[in-house]
Amino acid sequence: MSNKIILFDGECHFCDRSVHFIFKRDKKAVFKFASLQSDIGQELLRTYHAPAHIDSLVLIDDKHCYIKSSAALHICKHLSGLWKLFYGLFIIPRPVRDFVYEMIAKNRYRWFGKKEQCSVPSPEVRKRFLSSDKSYQQRRRQ
């Protein structure tokens, strides 16, 4: 199983589109996904001591928890195509990167809308979501 898990805002259109964007460019199936609002998402946030206020994007990579622009750039590192180049933006100081990230995150509902209900992903996408990964749930109980 992949040790890279992306937690995203399941109510946000932009975040939902971002998951589909990542899925299409994650040719090696490196990432698993879960919404922040799901039971598994909440459990992972507690387990990895993510900040309580986080509401947009979290990357759990083995034993590390990345948030905001750091999460986005670590994700880019594993995508196919030129998206890997965005990882180089780590040379920009984190406060500057996070300022831009926070401006987008703060306005995402206004700019892209909020979903009233979850979309039903295709079976191919669904099998990469932790909420439908029974083997993950069983391992967590042991």
The pLDDT tens digits of the residues spanning 70-121 come to: 999 999 999 999 999 999 899 999 999 999 989 988 888 788 777 665 555 6
What residues contact residue 15 under an 8 Å CB cut-off, 6+ apart? 8, 9, 56, 57, 108
Cα separation, 61 vs 95, in Å, equals: 21
Q: What is the pTM of this model?
A: 0.81
Residue 133 has pLDDT above 60, yes or no: no
> In the chain, what are the domain boundaries?
4-141
